[in-house]
Chains A and B, each alone.
Chain A
């Protein structure tokens, strides 16, 4: 994944301009604050990013894993819908950007999400996490917190981390 790492180092300000332009273009079609909408390309992005973010917290068996990822995508969508409209719009801009082929290649160094390997996605996350542009670091944090937070909010995932959950009689 050395080539994708290099592309990170090159993007610099062009990347930031593109991120800003992505938002601008999007906003022209969405004048009033709207609720977040998760389209198919957003789902593909999340389905690729969630396993890289959660590591072995996800089950390994294929069928169970596929179902878990689908559930996690839905939980992230619901978490975003709990944010104020201004924040929903920022997340929408980020998702749209990561769906846009040129931006995805330039900013994330990723082929179409369905074709990205686990290592490529991990490289993308690490690249944004340590990026010198705080805008991209902030986008990494948003993905980190939305995915980790909505996964570990689920009672089904508590036993694996030794959390008994609240007192049954009161919850």
Chain B
């Protein structure tokens, strides 16, 4: 295999060097594992926390429901990647089935499959948290050193390569209309500009948790438990005494019948903003104000497809490199819902399932695939008083589901976003523009599209909505009546449970959340390390 010769595989090398990795799928009997700190989830929050606590000298156990994969497993094929690396085979949906949610489920979590976009938490978002949620320490100044540390650690920097055509068309169209755009910073090191970030990086260029913090934690003595579904925490008074896990088979779907009991001094919940509140709900964690699982936010995302005379080839080249915050910054944060414009990568499965229609219309759309430019708008959820997010609840079998309904203020934002995107695409020279909506078709001019979009019913299942960012559900707040977690990430009413992931956020971020999770959880984990060891926490190095 030429690949093994050319691309070093840090996971294979680490395993050969003696990393402690337990694949629960292989267990044939009950197992108990003890640690100082058990971290549930290995994504942006769990990965950062694992490295900081392991470097502090604590015995760390990382519990992950997905599998440990590495560059040699990433073959850039959607058919393999979605079932292996995503929650619910990339088909996780809201309760009403109207919104498709992309979240990772593998070692590294969503960081293994995200599109590398790296933004610090917008100052307006932090100001809102200080004002509305009493998070007085969450100032730009206080967080800046933590963002800077994680940017160094994860190679987050300007990316010098010119954008692919798909991204450049957003820039060109916006330029023509006087709408400012800027370049997206990326967490890559030696990127080949392949365009397959969503299927796992085959060259280890993306600085996900899989190739950075988790190998470092394992090198410093942490244990990784994979194929283990965290079922519930068991309480003894106000302390979590243990965590019960169900072992899943190698397919990650069917339980093997084996169980793992995890005992630890401290538990960090970092399963992402659907699974974390669900674990705490199954565990019946204290929730005197009925907040747990509520105010779970998305960036509801609407999509517009433009057909161009020239080839766009949205599958080739770094996926997200140009953005515009024009429609976030030109209006009040708690007024009509604003949106961020970005460009998604286009691959056959993602594209064919996203584009509306069937039969001849769909077949014809697919034949135009190389000429399609797509742009998307992420709606900033959770700031307007009628934008209150959804609620994580448990199905009969205990699995998690997000009950989330688009409010009228969000639908209003969706319509304005579809209008803005169509206008930009026509300005960039699109021959036709198709808003992704069951009742829309390809429109041949901006005038025609404007009239049609103004009349399209904004309704679930008719307007296609997706989301790759889930936030909230275990909100932190300075006030116990508006958050189950305090500003230090500690779960209120429990002595030894913290939450370190996007479920902490009391609103959506209004930007791709990975760097917000890295910076904020680095600060929380450092505070926790100091508390548990009595010594200053180690600083992460590049």
Say whether, besides A82-B83, A152-B348, A171-B75, A144 and B2 are in contact (CB < 8 Å).
no
Closest Cβ–Cβ distance, residue B438 to chain A (whole Å): 6
Contacts of A144 in B (CB 8 A): 353, 358
* A163 CA / B372 CA spacing, docked (Å): 12
Contact B194 A153 (CB under 8 A): no
Interface residue B332 (Cβ < 8 Å from any Cβ of A)? no
Q: A35-B254, A141-B461 are in contact. Are A166 and B367 (CB under 8 A)?
A: no
Q: Does A137 sit at the interface, judged by CB under 8 A?
A: yes
> How many angstroms between the C-alpha atoms of A74 and B514 in the bound complex?
37
Q: Does A125 contact B (CB under 8 A)?
A: yes
CB interface residues, A 141-163, toward B, < 8 Å: 141-142, 144-145, 148-155, 157-158, 160-163
Interface residues in A45-67 (C-beta closer than 8 Å to B): 52-57
Q: How far is the CA of A141 from the CA of B91 in the complex (A)?
A: 11
The reply on B366 being an interface residue by CB < 8 A is yes
Assess the A166–B438 pair: CB atoms within 8 A: no
Instruction: Tell me, yes or no, whether B31 is within 8 Å of chain A by CB.
Output: no
The distance in angstroms between the C-alpha atoms of A161 and B541, with both chains bound, is 45
CA distance in complex: A22, B535 (Å): 61
User: Which B residues touch A53, using CB under 8 A?
Assistant: 358-359, 362
**Which of these, A85, A86, A161, contacts B254 with CB under 8 Å?**
A85
Q: Given A83-B89, A84-B399, A166-B77, A149 and B352 touching (CB < 8 A)?
A: yes
> In the bound complex, what is the Cα–Cα distance between A35 and B203 (angstroms)?
35
B446 to A: closest C-beta gap in Å: 27
Do A169 and B348 have beta carbons less than 8 Å apart? no
Cα A33 to Cα B364 in complex, Å, equals: 39
Min CB–CB distance A169 → chain B (angstroms): 6
Question: B3 interface residue, CB < 8 Å from A?
Answer: yes
Known pairs A153-B79, A163-B369, A170-B75; A138 contacts B352 (CB<8 A): no
Q: Does A84 contact B89, Cβ atoms closer than 8 Å? A: yes
A84 to B93, CA, bound (A): 12
The size bracket of the interface on B is 35 or more
- Asked if A125 and B367 sit within 8 Å, CB to CB, the answer is no
Q: Can you name the residue of chain B whose Cβ is closest to the Cβ of A130?
A: B438
Contact of A54 among B77, B363, B461 (CB under 8 A): B363
Contact of B369 among A79, A125, A154, A161 (CB under 8 A): A161
A138 and B399 in contact, given A53-B359, A82-B83, A149-B352 (Cβ under 8 angstroms): no
A106 within 8 A of B: no
Minimum distance in angstroms from B455 CB to a CB of chain A = 16
Contact of B77 among A79, A130, A142, A171 (CB under 8 A): A171
Known: A57-B363, A86-B397, A149-B352. A167 touches B76 (CB 8 A): yes
The number of inter-chain residue pairs (CB within 8 angstroms) is 128
8 Å CB interface, A83-136 against B: 83-87, 122, 125, 129-130, 134
In this complex, what residue of A is CB-closest to B76?
A166
CB contacts (< 8 Å) of B253 on chain A: these are 82-85
**Which A residues are in CB contact (< 8 Å) with B91?**
83, 87, 145
B97 at the interface (CB under 8 A from A): yes
Within B345-364, the residues touching A (CB, 8 Å) are: 347-349, 351-353, 358-364
Shortest C-beta distance, B237 to chain A (Å), equals 34
**Distance, CA A170 to CA B193, complexed state (A):** 13
Chain B residue contacts of A155, Cβ below 8 A: 77
Residue on B nearest A82 in the bound complex, by CB? B83
User: Is B404 positioned at the interface, with any CB of A under 8 Å from its CB?
Assistant: no
Set of chain B residues within 8 Å of A137, measured between Cβ atoms: 461-462
- Asked, given contacts A53-B362, A134-B461, A163-B370, whether A145 binds B79 with beta carbons under 8 Å apart, the answer is no
Of A87, A148, A150, the residue contacting B362 (CB under 8 A) is A148
Q: Would A169 and B315 count as touching, CB distance under 8 A? A: no
- Which among B97, B348, B351, B369 is the interface contact of A141 at CB below 8 angstroms? B97
Is A52 a contact partner of B369 (Cβ separation < 8 A)?
A: no
Could you tell me if B75 and A161 are in contact, using CB atoms closer than 8 angstroms? no
- Is the Cβ of A166 less than 8 Å from the Cβ of B349? no
CB distance from A62 to the nearest CB of B (A): 19
Question: A23 vs B272: C-alpha distance in the bound complex, in angstroms?
Answer: 31
B196 at interface by CB-CB < 8 Å: yes
Contact among A35, A162, A170 for B3, CB-based, below 8 A: A170
Residues of A within 8 A of B395 (CB): 86
CB pair B358–A86 under 8 Å, yes or no, is no
Inter-subunit contact A170/B353 (CB<8 Å): no
Q: Which residues of B contact A86 (CB under 8 A)?
A: 395, 397, 399
Give the nearest-CB partner of B88 in chain A. A84
Asked whether B78 is an interface residue with its Cβ less than 8 Å from the other chain, the reply is yes
Set of chain B residues within 8 Å of A55, measured between Cβ atoms: 358-364
A149 to B366, CA, bound (A): 12
Is B96 interfacial (CB 8 A cutoff)?
A: yes
Bound together, the chains give a CA A131 to CA B88 distance in angstroms of: 26
Contact present for B79 and A169 (CB under 8 Å): no
Contacts of B361 in A (CB 8 A): 55
**Complex-state Cα separation, A148 to B351, whole angstroms:** 9
The answer, yes or no, to whether B460 is at the interface (CB within 8 Å) is yes
B98 at the interface (CB under 8 A from A): yes
- Which residue of chain A lies nearest to B194 when distances are taken between CB atoms in the complex? A167
Tell whether, in the assembled complex, residue B78 and residue A153 are in contact, meaning their CB atoms are under 8 Å apart: yes
B406 to chain A, nearest CB (A): 12
User: In the complex, are the beta carbons of B461 and A57 less than 8 A apart?
Assistant: no
A36 to chain B, nearest CB (A): 11
Say yes or no: A149 contacts B75, CB within 8 Å: no
Q: List 5 A-B contacts (CB under 8 A).
A: A53-B362, A55-B358, A138-B96, A144-B353, A148-B352
On B, residues with C-beta under 8 Å from A are 2-3, 75-79, 82-83, 88-89, 91, 96-98, 194, 196, 202-203, 253-254, 315, 347-349, 351-353, 358-364, 366-367, 369-370, 395, 397, 399, 438-439, 460-462
Give the top 4 A-B pairs by smallest Cβ distance, nearest first: A166-B76, A82-B83, A138-B97, A55-B363
